[in-house]
Amino acid sequence: MAQLWGGRFTKETDRLVYDFNASVSFDKRFYRQDIRGSMAHVRMLAKQGILAEGERDVILSGLEGILADVENGRLEIGEQFEDIHSFVEATLIDRIGDPGKMLHTGRSRNDQVALDMKLYARDEVCALDGLVEKLLVVLERLMEEHTETVMPGFTHLQKAQPITLAHHLGAYFEMFKRDRQRFFDIYERMNFCPLGAGALAGTTYPLDREYTAKLLGFAGPTLNSMDSVSDRDYLIELLSALSTVMMHLSRFSEEIIIWNTNEYQFVEIDDAFSTGSSIMPQKKNPDIAELVRGKTGRVYGALISLLTAMKGLPLAYNKDMQEDKELTFDAIDTVKGCLALFTGMLDTMKFHKSRMAESARKGFTNATDAADYLVNHGVPFRDAHGIIGRLVLFCMEQGKAIEELSLEELKSVSPVFEEDLYEAVSMDTCVNKRLTLGAPGKRVMEQVLAANRKWLSEHPALTAAGKE
Ligand code: ARG
């Protein structure tokens, strides 16, 4: 048990207490960020004359050595340390002696952990943004390929009106675009440096917080030391954004699962992204999509856990806040895995155009257009709605689609129908005459595709600032 704070204690910590309290098993994950933060702190201390330049250089090379040795596997972050901060400081002192004891001047683990977690979250927001960007690129490619792939659009999971696959996928493009915009916002709002807040009330050393913030690529220092050590809003925002990403992935997964059924056969998931059954030899299951859907709950759980952990906390730091780590790490790992797998699955999936088109033709998806035809010939819409309702009933009795009826049959329902009805209710008209911006008509879809391409080129994946 290696502790930084034994001085005022007369007894050893109970073993169970030690284990319960320790965080190194999970916070060792941000050793890079911890060392990066310490290096910036030491540079600032020397600039302010709090450390001599010689001391700074010895500490910096000691920290560099620790970083290199952890990276190359020569140094293990052992569980005999309470947390990653203790590990780095104790190892530094062990390696360079007395100068190492100056590292923690003007700093508390409270502002240190606030910084580490922020640096970590900031790096991960960038990685997550890159993964959503990759998904958007695949979506954009598929949309370009499928501006003429007609399929039924649904409401209540009942066939509603014909659309195109590009239009359907475009809905997800919008969702994931908003997810990236949320990442941009979160990054900007979180990008203030808490280091220098001390335990809660700042410090009497003449720290230059602007300088530390700049070294670490932050927009500036935070402005209240109590808030600096106890703010976890940025993690709650991140978990909320991740929950929304998962909700989108889960909806999309649900659709793919439905489209992949034997009944629909709109798509076929690639063999490399499907699994089989141990008993039923014929089976090819959409496990990846199901797992993505299933893991969504776990990310929502992280959000609710952290909101709940924070809700009763008095200012400033409380140990409850250590609970932010495992759940945030788990949520980030989960979402990264889901995004990578989902993108691979989508990228390799086959779309059965003829099945989609046939499904659109079969479900009276052109009934609205038939009613609009009557309206264009002077029938009030409410009457037209009633007439087409009767026409659909008639078609169902005959086992025919609207366009399969003869003009005579059509006229038996309404004398307003003429030969041009057939053109008016063709799939091509239903889709391509829908030209309001955002609709499936090819001409407007092409405008949207151009706008999407422009947006993607203007929004490259976020990169974390201040990497040394
Ligand atoms: N492991 C702690 C955490 O994650 C580090 C901060 C410890 N501070 C303290 N006063 N015990 O929150």
Tens of pLDDT along 157-201?
Answer: 999 999 999 999 999 999 999 999 999 999 999 999 999 999 999
Catalytically annotated residues: 156, 277
pLDDT of amino acid 6: 80
Tell me: pLDDT of 2 over 80.
no
pLDDT of amino acid 283: 83
pLDDT of amino acid 467: 43
Q: Which positions ≥6 away from 24 have C-beta within 8 Å?
A: 77, 78, 79, 81, 82, 83, 84, 86, 87
Residue 109 CA to ligand 1 centre (angstroms): 6
Testing ligand 1's pocket by substitution, the residue of 110, 112, 232 carrying the most ligand atoms inside 8 A of its CB is: 110
The response to whether residue 113 sits with its C-beta less than 6 Å from ligand 1 reads yes
- DSSP code per residue over 195-244: TT-TTTT--SS---HHHHHHHTT-SEE-S-HHHHHH--HHHHHHHHHHHH
pLDDT of amino acid 166: 98
Q: Label residue 465 by pLDDT band (50, 70, 90).
A: confident
| Residue range 73-113, pLDDT digits in tens | 999 999 999 999 999 999 999 999 999 999 999 999 999 99
Mean pLDDT of the residues in the chain: 96
Tell me: pLDDT of 266 over 60.
yes
User: At which residue do the structure tokens 């039924």 appear?
Assistant: 152
The response to whether residue 109 sits with its C-beta less than 6 Å from ligand 1 reads yes
Tell me: pLDDT of 466 over 70.
no
Closest to 161 (Cα-Cα) out of 441, 369, 436, 352: 369
Pull the structure tokens for residue 256. 């793919």
Q: Label residue 468 by pLDDT band (50, 70, 90).
A: very low
**What share of the chain has pLDDT > 90, as a percent?**
94
Testing ligand 1's pocket by substitution, the residue of 113, 231, 323, 329 carrying the most ligand atoms inside 8 A of its CB is: 113
Strands 350-351 and 267-268: antiparallel
Tell me: pLDDT of 18 over 70.
yes
| Residue range 273-287, pLDDT digits in tens | 998 888 888 888 999
| Residue range 206-242, pLDDT digits in tens | 999 999 999 999 999 999 999 999 999 999 999 999 9
